[in-house]
Structure 1
């Protein structure tokens, strides 16, 4: 193991854990970023869910300090306007595990994804055993609601034990799901979303500076992989931008496949507090106090035509400890949100970190759009009793469907399953942009009450919609009630 890697591990498991910092200042936090100010949150994983709201799950830093060893919970939050966040409470905690006496277990950076009626939560475990040895692996927990406690369904994912930290799930438009984790490792997920299908492998991301915090997103047919870079040394108070110090950036790579190879492109998010305007200044210096801390973890989500970048800083800690007189604790972090924009060639414009955060948005469109049978055009398809029937391959299309600022899921009621089949949701033509894919098998008629669903990308604007149906062999598939949904956020329900 390289000297740098040993240095980072020693920080993670020993020295950092001794950091302390109680919340002495109880005055209201004066800025829009971070977005959660009643507790410390880190490692945000944002996803648009079937209720049309933007959700994030986070790890939790302890209010009294204590470092990474005191991270014992996963929390859920949601928003309908990108400004007002609802706290849905703890959805998994260390008490949900049977921790042997004398062992120290911690829950670190999670991810969440929805598929066909189930929410899947991926949590990395950092366990110090009774003999002092350490374990790192990934746990899978599930729920049928985002706002209730999750149940562990896989206590240890096989095949990801090696550096099993910072899991990140990506579902491509063809329906394939992938898991990424530390050391730039990845694997394809099985249909049950609980296990790796085959062997893990290393992603070729075009560089050698990966440290942690993998995240994959897709835009306009290009794949973007961002991660926390290796870095060295403390940030100098006198020269925080020292060109001779390897920086704690979030870099990104981009390419044409979720499995690589990708081309390394450079920073997507500079060090924390870099060039932050309008913020408080460290006494005697011309930069924000948290410019001196180093902990970077990023995630990207698109919501109604704008992409947002989630990361964390020690700004709230700096305020709570002493009203911005010092840098705060880098193990008492808080989630921030800023805009992510792109150049014309698809490359990323590095995130401009702000204390203001993003603007409030208002979404005014129907929650769902049903595609009526009587308005359809068919190729090798028929309608019987309100259900479409396709033998082999066929196309059902609908003219001028207005998807507004965005719809995030599509579903059908499956009247007759097939051994293996798919329905591709495309816009502009039967060979047009693939927005998502419904994967169908023999169990699809009973899973999720027979509703087959998929997440969508770039499903916005007025388009001709094409449902391209494909089955293996001459099997006949029947489905009804095709519709787009999650086009506007539902109110939070008790």
Structure 2
């Protein structure tokens, strides 16, 4: 090989290295993942996900379990496997839909959506359970031996899959809140033990709301971010409020449709001085609406607290030092 060919070969290797270092989205490529739910604990981001196993010929979801991943730099992710599935709950049946985990007093509470068997506690339909662990990666077990939310508790909508997609938030004063819902958004306070409801369930309908709420606080504002049905496929829109109980002021669209998937789902986290927006799309080879993959891009705020439009990229984010 002459000198010119050596230079070309080195350039090609450099380009390959550049691509592997900076083409980060989707972030997990060995399995199909969806519905990202990140938390920060002990200088590490833990990412809780759904798991798509539908074939390319399937026309509906197959989601047998939930997975946990972790990263210290937002780029390199460790797969901790599946510590929880609907089979972990004696009352549950069906698929493992969107879920979110939160830490309180050294324990990790994982709120999940699946379906309820027909028994003395429910006639079936979507339900929300809660699992608990002493570690962010499990093992997790059913915290109360029954569903926390069953379909009979919410009757303003008549379809049986309205109690899905829980998000949980603990305010500065220690009060915990659970939000969820397809078709309308529900909210209820949680007791300090995180496994009992406190007070009545309320429901409200933000503009274009369909499902997938994510609630958090930044400075003096509370944010309700959600998947919208103003157009199909879904987009992400949001509201803000000065109280976790509202009233919520509509603020607009922050994420347009994602490639090759008619759903999207927000997961938002601050880590080492930067804000990150997680979502899923269908861009992996053989991917699609039932074979989705999680991505991460930067999230930016304006001075008044409003959120700038999310720029979806193939490059993703850079490693955190």
Alignment TM-score, normalising by the size of structure 1: 0.55
Return the offset for 1:70: 1.9
Partner of 1:359: 318
**1:315 pairs with 283, 287, 290, which one?**
283
**1:135 pairs with 125, 140, 150, which one?**
125
Partner of 2:10: none
Return the offset for 1:203: 4.1
Q: State whether residues 54 and 290 of structure 2, in contact with CA within 8 Å, keep that contact through their aligned partners in structure 1.
A: no
Q: Distance in 1 between matches of 2:25 and 2:54?
A: 18
- Provide the aligned C-alpha RMSD in A: 2.3
**1:40 pairs with 27, 32, 55, which one?**
32
Return the offset for 1:52: 1.8
Partner of 2:307: 348
Measured against aligned partners, the alpha-carbon deviations of 1:1-47 in whole angstroms (never above 9, x if no partner) come to xxxxxxxxxxxxxxxxxxxxxxxxxxx9x931010111010001001
Partner of 1:226: 225
Q: Distance in 2 between matches of 1:63 and 1:202?
A: 33
Q: 1:48 to 1:194 in 2, by over 3 A?
A: same
SS in structure 2 opposite 1:89?
Answer: coil
Return the offset for 1:127: 4.9
Q: Distance in 2 between matches of 1:158 and 1:94?
A: 15
Structure 1 segments unaligned to the other structure (5+ residues): 1-27, 234-246, 274-289, 322-327, 363-494
Q: Distance in 2 between matches of 1:39 and 1:137?
A: 26
Q: State whether residues 40 and 63 of structure 1, in contact with CA within 8 Å, keep that contact through their aligned partners in structure 2.
A: no
Return the offset for 1:86: 0.5
Q: State whether residues 121 and 142 of structure 1, in contact with CA within 8 Å, keep that contact through their aligned partners in structure 2.
A: yes
Q: State whether residues 165 and 211 of structure 2, in contact with CA within 8 Å, keep that contact through their aligned partners in structure 1.
A: yes
Partner of 2:246: 260
Q: State whether residues 164 and 181 of structure 1, in contact with CA within 8 Å, keep that contact through their aligned partners in structure 2.
A: yes
Q: 1:40 to 1:179 in 2, by over 3 A?
A: same
Structure 2 segments unaligned to the other structure (5+ residues): 1-19, 155-161
Partner of 2:73: 81
Q: 1:129 to 1:105 in 2, by over 3 A?
A: farther
Return the offset for 1:148: 2.5
Q: 1:220 to 1:195 in 2, by over 3 A?
A: same
Q: 1:129 to 1:68 in 2, by over 3 A?
A: farther
Q: State whether residues 223 and 257 of structure 1, in contact with CA within 8 Å, keep that contact through their aligned partners in structure 2.
A: yes
